Each structure stands twice: as structure tokens, then as C-alpha cells.
Structure 1
């Protein structure tokens, strides 16, 4: 969709400023459509999760292994940090 110059499974984690600059301009409409698609898939996934699923191990590279419940909390926490960062930058840009 975005014709990114990265491997398909790349997440952006560890990208350098040079990597980020390689993105160039992405139209707002394309980003909004991507957001909507991700939101729809996220809502569908969360609605499908049962209580028993939360105890399932999703990453055994850690001690203790990470359960789905812990990973979901981690993702929510990370997302909230990014919302705070965006709000900070927006406020900074809008300052007189």
C-alpha cells in the first residue's frame, strides 16, 4: 500500500533517522485509511479474545514467558506513551 523501501515484515523498530527519511511524504488520506483498517482489525481481534486466551504464552524468549494478557497491557502502555508524545509536539507547535 505504501510501497515502503523496507522488508514487508519490518516494524520500524530500530530504524535510524536515515531510514525514517526514506519514507518521504505519505498522503494524509493514505495514513487515515491505514489507521481505519488497523483499528477495524484491532477491534475484531479484541472482541474475539476469551478470558482463557489471556493466559496463553505468546513470547517465551523472556523469563517469565509473556502471556497474551501481559502483551496487551504492554501494547496499550506503549500506545499511550506515543499519544502523549504526539500531544506534546502538537502543543509545542501550537504555542504562540
Structure 2
């Protein structure tokens, strides 16, 4: 099949030389119907680009409230009365004053 032009050829004042087909075409073969060619659409200028909007601020992540750790049970207070009594006269009075 010979290559066809993609658009209309300009009009010339000289007649075109006759072309010799490369292969003989049977006379009974009908030509396919040609599609109607629409004229090209006029140039439409591109729309100006919109300025980019800044990205919204990141929202703080929602964390579940921290579980409070159970506090250790306070140790039993020891009876220091006997120790404080024994410390008198042996240890500095300022240390003995800390006994309650």
C-alpha cells in the first residue's frame, strides 16, 4: 500500500506525473470509504497556572493518655526508739537530734 500524505497537499499549477502502481490492483476491488476530514481546531492559549497553596499544618497526633504506674507500697516504718536511745552519748548530739 503506498504511503498517503497526512494532510492536504498545496495546489500546484503543473499536473502531477502519472504514477505506476507497484502491484496490479484488481479492478473489482472496491475502495474503502474515506472519512470526512475536519479542519484543525483554532489554537487555544493555555490557562495561567494557579499559584500553589501552602500545605496545611500537620495536626498533632492523638495519643491515648499514659497509664499511671502503681506506686510501691511504702515500707513499714521501723521502731527506731531503741536505736535512738542507744545512740545517745555514743554519737554526735546533732545526729541523735534527727531521731523522732
Under TM normalisation by the shorter chain, which class is it? under 0.3
Q: Which has the higher strand share?
A: 1
Q: TM-score, normalised by structure 2?
A: 0.19
Q: Which has the higher helix share?
A: 1
Highest Rg: 1 or 2?
2
Q: TM-score, normalised by structure 1?
A: 0.19
